[in-house]
Amino acid sequence: MYSDKEINNLIICPKMITKPPKKYLELKYGHLRNSFELSSETKKFYCYIRVCNDFQEDFSIGLIYQPNDAEKLTLVRYNGLHGEHTNPDKTKINTCHIHKASSKCIEENLKPEKYAYTVTNYATYLECLKIFCNDINIQDNINDYFKFHTQLSLL
């Protein structure tokens, strides 16, 4: 069981890249993908990047916490435009949004990251990735790993 404070601490704790992403997004099953691993002291994390190949405004970038002795937990997932999202309180979102794990959802046996909130600070996958890396407090120079100036189709 995680408190909201613990979840927040896991999201913002300083992290180092332990297994870097591939240089290029790989196409599999109709989507472009990449992933990398992170650590913070003894804690381990996994990040995935997914972009729909047909609709590149539809993407997901997620941070998963991987404890040694418990099930993995999706802490946050940054989504592009994919259609409608409905929160447990029935509020609807039709824009870019961030799913975030909450103690309330965990307590109620819902998908931990079921709650999401609207964001307006990114519209593309690369903008989102830059913000995501900043938000989850990656200490490495992310420009060494991601070509933020490059068009998606060239990645």
Determine, following the binding rule CB under 8 A, whether residue 110 of this chain makes contact with other proteins. Answer: yes
Site string for other proteins, 5-44 (x = CB under 8 A): -----------------------xxxx-x-----------
Determine, following the binding rule CB under 8 A, whether residue 68 of this chain makes contact with other proteins. Answer: no
Determine, following the binding rule CB under 8 A, whether residue 115 of this chain makes contact with other proteins. Answer: yes
# residues near other proteins by CB under 8 A: 33
CB of 71 to other proteins, least distance (A): 10
Write the DSSP string, 74-107. Answer: EEEEEE-S-S-EE-TT--EE-S-EEEE--HHHHH
Positions that interact with other proteins (CB under 8 A): 28-31, 33, 48, 50, 52-55, 58, 60, 62, 64, 72, 74, 77, 79, 82-88, 99, 110-111, 113-116
